[in-house]
Amino acid sequence: MSNLMEICKHTGLSINQEKTKYMFMTRKVRDTEDESDLEVNGIFLQQLQDFKYLGVNLNNINCMHNEIKLRLKDGNGCYFAIAHLFKSKLLYRKTEQLYTMYLRPAVSYACCT
C-alpha cells in the first residue's frame, strides 16, 4: 500500500480518505473479528463487505447468490412496472419487443455466458 502512496505522490495524485475504501476478497468465509480499517501513512481506509461497481454487486467472499437475487428482483420490478402492457390485447405483437428492450437487459446486465 505504501508503494501506491509513493506512486501517487510521484504523479501528483492524492488519495481521498473519505472516498477510498478497500475490500479483502476470498472464496473462504472469514471471521468478522479481523475486519478493521487499514492505516497507511496516517490515512485510514474503511473495509467493505460488499459494494456496487458498474451495476454489479461485489462481496468479499465472491458469492454470486446475492447478485442473482438482486437481478431477479430487478427483473420482477421491471415486469410489474409494465405488466399492464404485457396483458394488453392491443400490443400482442409488441410484447416480444417489450421483453427484449426492458426485461432482458435488467436481468442480464453484465452477465457472462
Domain extent, residue 104, equals 64-113
pTM: 0.54
pLDDT in tens, 56-99: 788 887 777 888 888 888 888 888 888 888 788 777 777 777 77
Average pLDDT value for residue range 5-10: 82
Number of domains in the chain: 2
Q: Is 86 exposed, middle or buried (0-12, 13-18, 19+ CB in 10 A)?
A: middle
- Mean pLDDT, rounded, of the chain: 78
Query: Same structural domain for residues 44 and 2?
Result: yes
| Same structural domain, 49 and 68 | no
13-19 — which CB contacts under 8 Å span 24+ positions? Answer: 15/43, 17/43, 17/44, 17/45
How confident is the model over 14-69, as pLDDT tens digits?
878 788 888 887 777 666 556 677 777 777 888 888 888 887 788 887 777 888 88
Q: Are residues 26 and 68 in the same domain?
A: no
On whether both 50 and 75 belong to a single domain, the answer is: no
